[in-house]
Structure 1
Amino acid sequence: MKNLLIKNAKLRYTNELTDILICDGIFQKIGKITDPPADTEIIDATGNLVTPPIIDPHVHLDAVLVAGILPRKNQTGTLLESIDIWSDWKPGLTKKMLKENARKVIDWYVANGVLRVRTHADCTDPTLVTVESLLELKEEVRDLIDIQVVAFPQNGIYSDPANLGLLEESIRMGVDVIGGAPHIEYTREDGVRDVETVFELAEKHDKLIDIHIDETGDPHSRFIEVMAKESINRHMGPRATGSHTTAMHNYDNDYAYKLIGNLAKANMNMIVNPSANLLLQSRMCGYPKPRGIARADEMLARGVNVSIGHDSVMDPWYSLGKACLLQQAFLMLHAGHMNGAEQIQQVFDMITTNSAKTLHLDNYGIAEGNQADLIIFDAATEDDILRLQSECTYVIRKGKIICQTTPAKRKLTYDAEPSYVDFKL
C-alpha cells in the first residue's frame, strides 16, 4: 500500500496548519513532515479543514430510493400514513431491489464523506428479508464504509403476536443493535413493555440499543422517561440511544427540565432527524406550528450527547435527500436556533464526534495509531463548511483515496477580463 502525506492540513480547534503521514492505512505521524518515505503520494490541503469522516447514526437503508416507484403517495405527509404505505409496499420488496438501492446510497454517502452508518432494518416482515439483506450488504461494503444494523420492529413488538419472535430471530441472525417503537403500540402499557423488552434482550445478548421513541407531536407520549429509568437502573446508558423523541418539543417545560436531567444522569445518547421530522411532525397542530424536533440545544447544554441523523432518503417518510449530513446539520442549525458561535461547533460535532460516541466507536479520529479515515473539505472552517455546503474534495479510507470531487468553477464573463466566484471571503 502506498504511503500518503497530507500537507498544510487544518485540524479542528486549531489555527495552525500541520502535516499528516499515513502508512499502511494507519495515521503514522501528525506534525511537520520534512522527509517522507520515497513512495509517498502527497496531497496539499491548502489550509482547508481536515476531519474524521462524517457519521450518519440513523437511516433506513431498507427503504431508500423507493419514493419514485411507490403506487401510492403520502397525501397527508404524516408519519402514520408513511408507515401504512410501507406496510402495503413491503410484500413486493425483493432482496435484489433493496440491496441495489442501498448500495447506490452508500456511494452517495462516500461522496459526501460519510464512512460510518447505523441503519435500521424493519424486522416485522415475516420473511426478514430486510434484516438478511442489510447484514449481507454490511459485509459486502466493509472496505468502503462501516455499517451497524438495528433490528427495528417498525410496527411495534406487541402489536402482533409474531413480532417478538421475529425480533429475537433477527438477534440470532447477527444484528448489532436492538430497536423498539413504543409509541406505535396499541396501549401505554404495551409501550412500556416494548422498552423494557428491548433492554432485557440487549442485556442478555450484549447488544447496543437504539429505540424510535415518542416520534409524535403528542405531549402525552412519554416513553423516553421509561428508557431513562431502564438506562439508570441497568447501568446501560452509554449503550442506549433514543431516536427522534419529537414529542419532547411539545412537553411542558417543567417536565422537560426534569426529563433532560434524567437523560444526563443516565448518560444516554439522543438522535434528532431534522429533515424528516420537520415535515412529518405537528401536522395536526394548525398555526403556530411547533417545529417537531427534540430540544437539542437544551440537552447539549446539560451534557446529553446528541447526534444528527438523515433518517430517510427518498422513501415514503421523506421523498427528498441525497445522503448529505451537511444538509441535515444546516437544517438543525436553523430549526434549532443553534447559530451561536459555539453552537455552530456543536452542530458539527453532532455529525462527527457525538455520533461516534452514539455508535460506541473506538479507533475514530485523526490520531496517531488510528485507522486512517479522513475527509478534506473545500473550506477552512466549520462555519464555511455549513454555510457553503462544502464539497469533500478528498475522501480517504484506510489510507486509500476512494473519492475525489472537483468543486464547481463559476466564471463571470461580463467584463473584458473574466473573474471567478467561490462565495468565500
Structure 2
Amino acid sequence: MKKKFINATIYKHDHASEILVEDGKFVAIGNNVGEADETIDLQGRLVLPPYVDSHLHLDYYFTGQDDKIKNESGTLFEAIDLWNDYKKGTTKEEMKERIRRAVHDVASYGTQFIRAQTDCTDPNLTGIKAALEVRDELKDNITIQVVAFPQNGMYSYNEEGKSGRDLVEEALQLGADCVGGIPHNEWSSEEGKESVKEIVRLAIKYNKLIDVHCDETDDVQSRFVEILNAEVMKQGYGKSTTASHTCSFGSVDDSYAFRMMGLFRKSGINFVACPTENLFLQGRQDTYPKRRGLTRVKEFVDHDINVAFGQDSIVDLWYPAGSGNLMNILDNGLHATQLMREQDFPRNFDLITYNGAKLMQIEDRYGLDEGKPANFIVLDAPNPFEAQRRRVECLASIRNGEYLFHKKSPAYETELDINRQTK
C-alpha cells in the first residue's frame, strides 16, 4: 500500500512538499511524487526525522518520588551514593516496568531512538538484563542502545568479589551495545585514567561503541576527555566514541579548549550535552558568578564537532523534573548555549535528530532519504524557526510508515471582543 503525505514542510528538503511511502520505506521525497492508495494532507506542517535522545537513564525513572530517600544537597555525588543503596533488592520485573513506563513517556513526545545509560554496578546486573529485554521487546517501535554504565566506578566499586570493570565486561557479553564509564568518580585520577584505557580496550575487544560520563564536574582539573580523545585517536576509534556531559570543559581556559577542539576534530569524537540536568546540578559550590555547567556546545557547532542533546533524567535522584520532551531540552539548550543566531535556527533541530543518529551510528537507517525506513514526526509549525520559537507539540510519530500516535491540532479561540465590559 502506498501512502502520500502532501503539503509538508520537510526539514532539509527546502523545495520538496510531498513524501511517498511504500512497504514501510521512503519511496520518493519531492513534488508530484506519484499516485498513492492514501493521501494525507499535512497542511503545511513541519516534518522532521524522529527525535533521538542521546543520553537517558531509563532505569532511574521516577525514583526521585520515593519519600524514603532525598537528595538534600542536590549534588551529583550525593545522588550516586543514594542510588547505590536504593537499587539493592530491586527485581528485574520492577526494573522492566520502570523502563517500559519511561520509554512510553518519551515516545509520546516523538522520540523513536534512545541511548539508554544503564547502571551495571550490581552483582546481578538487574538493570542491564531488564534493559536488554525491553530493548528487544520494543524494537519494532523504538530503537534502544544499552550502555553498560558503571555508575559507581570501574575500580572504586567492588562487591561480592566483582569490580565495576568486571561487570561492564559481563554486560557486554550479555549484549549491551556500548561501553560506559565515569572516570571522574573513581577514587583517584590514576584510577580514572586507567578506567578510560580499559573502556577503549573493552570496546575494541567486543566491537562496541563507547559512551563515557566524562568530567561531569566543575573541577577544571578534571580533564579525562583529553585522555579519552588521545586513546581513541591512537586506535582510530573516535567516530565510535561519545563523551557525555564534559561540564568542566566549559570552565577551562580558552587556550587549552581551542587546542583540544583541534584534536577533537582530528579524532572525530562525539559529544552529548544535557542542558536541563547540568544547569540544575552544576555550580552548587559556586557563589557568584555561578557556573551553569554546560560544555562548549556553540563552539562545537561552529567547529564541526558532532554534538547532540539528551534529557538525561526524568524525576530521579539527580533531577526532580523532566518529561522526555526533547523540544523542551532543545529550547533550554538553545538559550543556555546562545544558539540563536540567524544561521542557527535552520539547523538547530540537528541537535536532537541527525547528530544523535550520527553518534549512535544508525545513519544508514535514519533520516529523510529515499530508500530508508519511513520514520518521521510531524510538528505543529510551518517551519523550523516557528517550531523553535513557539516550542510546538509533536502531532504525529510515524514508524515504518505507520502511526505510533496521531494527535489533533490544538484549536484556540482567536476572536476578542474589545468592547466587552468586565464587572
TM-score normalised by length of structure 2: 0.95
| Higher deviation after alignment, 318-327 or 207-216 | 318-327
Tell me if structure 2 keeps the 8 A contact 1:19–1:31.
yes
* Structure 1 residue 105 displacement after superposition: 2.1
Letter in 1 for 2:337: G
Letter in 2 for 1:44: D
Distance, in Å, in 1 between the alignment partners of 2:385 and 2:79 is: 35
Tell me if structure 1 keeps the 8 A contact 2:20–2:33.
no
CA-to-aligned-CA distance 1:249-298 (integer Å, 9 cap, x gap): 11111111111111111110000000110011110011110110000111
Which one of 98, 101, 106 corresponds to residue 98 of structure 2? 101
Distance, in Å, in 2 between the alignment partners of 1:61 and 1:417 is: 53
Compared CA separation, residues 9 and 187, structure 1 to 2 (3 A): same
Distance, in Å, in 1 between the alignment partners of 2:26 and 2:414 is: 41
Distance, in Å, in 1 between the alignment partners of 2:379 and 2:415 is: 27
Distance, in Å, in 2 between the alignment partners of 1:165 and 1:179 is: 12
Answering whether residue 248 of structure 2 is matched by residue 247 of structure 1, we say yes
| Other-structure match for 2:110 | 113
* Structure 1 residue 157 displacement after superposition: 0.4
Tell me if structure 1 keeps the 8 A contact 2:15–2:30.
no
Tell me if structure 1 keeps the 8 A contact 2:20–2:27.
yes
Tell me if structure 1 keeps the 8 A contact 2:59–2:127.
yes
TM-score normalised by length of structure 1: 0.94
Distance, in Å, in 1 between the alignment partners of 2:418 and 2:224 is: 66
Which one of 370, 376, 379 corresponds to residue 378 of structure 2? 376
Distance, in Å, in 2 between the alignment partners of 1:201 and 1:70 is: 39
CA-to-aligned-CA distance 1:219-245 (integer Å, 9 cap, x gap): 000000001101210000000000000
Letter in 2 for 1:384: E
Matched residue of 2:195: which SS? helix
Matched residue of 1:179: which SS? strand
Compared CA separation, residues 60 and 52, structure 1 to 2 (3 A): same
Which one of 77, 80, 85 corresponds to residue 74 of structure 2? 77
Tell me if structure 2 keeps the 8 A contact 1:332–1:347.
no
Tell me if structure 2 keeps the 8 A contact 1:8–1:17.
no
Distance, in Å, in 2 between the alignment partners of 1:84 and 1:172 is: 27
Tell me if structure 1 keeps the 8 A contact 2:16–2:29.
no
Compared CA separation, residues 5 and 185, structure 1 to 2 (3 A): same
Answering whether residue 289 of structure 2 is matched by residue 292 of structure 1, we say no
| Other-structure match for 2:51 | 54
| Other-structure match for 1:211 | 212
| Other-structure match for 2:2 | 3
Unaligned runs of 5+ in 1: 419-425
| Higher deviation after alignment, 98-107 or 179-188 | 98-107
* Structure 1 residue 34 displacement after superposition: 6.5
* Structure 1 residue 70 displacement after superposition: 4.5
Compared CA separation, residues 34 and 137, structure 1 to 2 (3 A): closer
Distance, in Å, in 1 between the alignment partners of 2:33 and 2:165 is: 60
Tell me if structure 2 keeps the 8 A contact 1:217–1:282.
yes
Distance, in Å, in 1 between the alignment partners of 2:244 and 2:120 is: 17
Tell me if structure 1 keeps the 8 A contact 2:18–2:33.
no
| Higher deviation after alignment, 259-268 or 207-216 | 259-268
Tell me if structure 2 keeps the 8 A contact 1:3–1:399.
no
Tell me if structure 1 keeps the 8 A contact 2:311–2:326.
yes
Matched residue of 1:259: which SS? helix
Compared CA separation, residues 305 and 401, structure 1 to 2 (3 A): same
| Other-structure match for 2:201 | 200
Matches within 5 A, 1:339-378: 339-361=340-362, 362-378=364-380
* Structure 1 residue 390 displacement after superposition: 1.2
Distance, in Å, in 1 between the alignment partners of 2:347 and 2:195 is: 32
CA-to-aligned-CA distance 1:280-322 (integer Å, 9 cap, x gap): 1110011110110000111221221000011001111111111
| Other-structure match for 2:406 | 404
| Other-structure match for 1:422 | none
Matched residue of 1:191: which SS? helix
Answering whether residue 313 of structure 2 is matched by residue 312 of structure 1, we say yes
* Structure 1 residue 372 displacement after superposition: 0.5
| Other-structure match for 1:16 | 15
Distance, in Å, in 2 between the alignment partners of 1:384 and 1:76 is: 39
Unaligned runs of 5+ in 2: none
Tell me if structure 1 keeps the 8 A contact 2:216–2:246.
yes
| Other-structure match for 2:41 | 44
CA-to-aligned-CA distance 1:54-79 (integer Å, 9 cap, x gap): 10010010111221125111111110
Answering whether residue 387 of structure 2 is matched by residue 385 of structure 1, we say yes
| Other-structure match for 2:24 | 25
Compared CA separation, residues 35 and 381, structure 1 to 2 (3 A): closer
Tell me if structure 1 keeps the 8 A contact 2:148–2:168.
yes
* Structure 1 residue 208 displacement after superposition: 0.3
* Structure 1 residue 154 displacement after superposition: 0.4
Matched residue of 2:53: which SS? strand
| Other-structure match for 1:137 | 134
Matched residue of 1:5: which SS? strand
CA-to-aligned-CA distance 1:104-147 (integer Å, 9 cap, x gap): 22222222111011001101011100000000000111111100
Distance, in Å, in 1 between the alignment partners of 2:179 and 2:318 is: 21
Tell me if structure 1 keeps the 8 A contact 2:5–2:39.
yes
Moved over 3 A (4+): 13-17
* Structure 1 residue 92 displacement after superposition: 3.7
CA-to-aligned-CA distance 1:324-343 (integer Å, 9 cap, x gap): 11111101111111111222
Tell me if structure 2 keeps the 8 A contact 1:70–1:89.
no
Aligned length, in residue pairs = 415
Matched residue of 1:21: which SS? strand
Letter in 1 for 2:21: I
